[in-house]
Amino acid sequence: MRIVTVVGTRPQLIKAAALSPVLRRRHEEILVDTGQHYDEAMAGAFFAELELPPPHHSLGIGGGTSTAQVARMLLALEQIVVAAAPDALLVYGDTNSTLAGALVAAKLDIPVAHVEAGLRSFDRRMPEEINRVVADHLSRWLFVPTATAVQNLAAEGITLGVIVVGDVMQDLAARLAPTVRDGEPVTALGLRPGEYLFATVHRAENRLPNALRSWTALLGAAASEQRPVVLALHPGTAAALAAEAVALPPHVRVIAPQGYRSTLALQLHAAAVLTDSGGVQREAAWLGVPCLVLRETSEWVETIAGTSGRMVLVGLDAARAHAELARLAPMGDSAAEAARRAQTLDLEPAGAADAISLALEADRP
């Protein structure tokens, strides 16, 4: 099969790094990077680090409003897809790039393969929720990571083409986890294992003025001189903070967005992780790190349930976060616990990449 794959963000590059090498053993893949994450630290460096082949097309479509971004993607992708005449178009997850790719393929009567189909937060205020719902309803192949995703699709009347494959991100995490046990990226930043908290905040709802003030206060309450919060600051979040003149509290240390291995290492060796990211949630779960999810809902219900209370939804409530940190990562135990995690880490791949490649071959258009 000839497959056009559309990516555009850091999480999608991570997924492509797991799936593309497997796809290319059996299929012809044309990789298109929309440039939705146009910052080099957010996307460009990932191609080299993850040994992902350079994209065949780089569109450079970053910035602007969500609507404007999707509109420009539609026009650019249409030309590429018409010229390529693929048998299928593959998209990942729930971004603007996902939505644009699925819409273009549907308009051109090209079958859509959606990796990470069926996930639902049931919060239509989230742009990601709209994107994933539309992509699912346009897809011929719905590659789902969990049983709950199957149920979500069935509730919307989608039963054909639904294939449970597991989480493709776990395949890559399993491959690279052994390389971060020593914690070199952590010590390179002057940090000591178990003596810091690692945080990421990037979702659109957490860039609104009230939310900015709430989560910065939460991080400030969690941080201390003995255990700072290390915040890998997304460029869009940095811009929102600057626009609202919201200052980060003392003992919240900002670092640039990190590469994939460094991000895994910073999670593995942290006392705990605080995040609104779906990808970081899952990575923290696989690594066994306590995790506070800075959202009221999550589409990864099995991930949270599978941690036996080690991952909790706290929203932007500083008191809840403080109580959960005291329970999950007491100050005196964190260093020893981080060392134990690093020594015993043994993550198995999900086998999702092989399952997706084989399913596409078995059901050629």
Which residues are the active-site residues? 202
Tokens for 240? 């929102």
Q: Give phi and psi for 107, each to the nearest 5.
A: -65, -30
Kind of pairing, strands 57-58 and 272-275?
A: unpaired
Helix locations, 166-277, DSSP H:
168-176, 184-188, 209-222, 235-243, 260-268
Tokens for 196? 């810091």
What DSSP string runs through 105-138?
HHHTT--EEEETTT---S-TTSHHHHHHHHHHHH
Q: Which residue has the tokens 């003025």?
A: 209
- How big is the CA angle at 214 (ends 209 and 218), to the nearest 5 degrees? 150
Helix (H) or strand (E) holding 33: strand 28-33
Q: What's the rounded Cα separation, in Å, for the pair 138 and 134?
A: 6
Tokens for 325? 């940190």
What is the rounded (10 degree) CA torsion for 90, 94, 99, 100?
-70
Residues 6+ apart with CB under 8 A from 257: 10, 39, 41, 42, 232, 233, 234, 235
Q: Which residue has the tokens 């390389």?
A: 179
